Copies of this chain bind each other. A is one copy, B any other.
Amino acid sequence: MSLSHALLGLLAASPATGYDLAREFERDFGRYAWQAGHASIYPELGKLAARELVQVVDEGPRGSKTYDITPAGREELRQWLLRPPGSGVVRNSHVLRMFLIPVLDEDDQRAMLAAIEEQATAAAAELRVVLSTIPPSDGSPRSELGRLAAEFGLAQYEATRAWARRTLDGLGGSATRTPARGPRASVR
CA distance A10 to B116 in the complex (A): 21
Size range of the chain A interface in the assembly: 35 or more
CA distance A100 to B24 in the complex (A): 13
B137 touches A170 (CB 8 A): yes
Copies of this chain, whole number: 2
Contacts of A60 on B, CB cut-off 8 Å? none
B33 touches A95 (CB 8 A): yes
Contacts of A5 on B, CB cut-off 8 Å? 93, 96, 100
Question: Chain A binding site: helix, strand, loop or mixed by DSSP?
Answer: helix
Contacts of A33 on B, CB cut-off 8 Å? 90, 92, 95-96, 98-99
- A43 → chain B closest CB, angstroms: 17
- A145 → chain B closest CB, angstroms: 5
A101 touches B148 (CB 8 A): yes
CA distance A108 to B57 in the complex (A): 27
Q: Which residues of A61-101 have CB atoms within 8 Å of chain B's CB atoms?
A: 77-78, 80-82, 84-85, 88-101
Contacts of A141 on B, CB cut-off 8 Å? 102-103, 179, 181
- A129 → chain B closest CB, angstroms: 10
Q: A residues bordering B, Cβ < 8 Å?
A: 2, 5-6, 9-10, 12-16, 20, 23-24, 27-35, 77-78, 80-82, 84-85, 88-104, 108, 111-112, 115-116, 119, 130, 134, 137, 139-146, 148-152, 155-156, 158-160, 162-163, 166-167, 170, 174, 176, 179-188
6 closest cross-chain pairs (CB), A and B: A88-B93, A102-B144, A9-B100, A159-B159, A142-B185, A12-B103
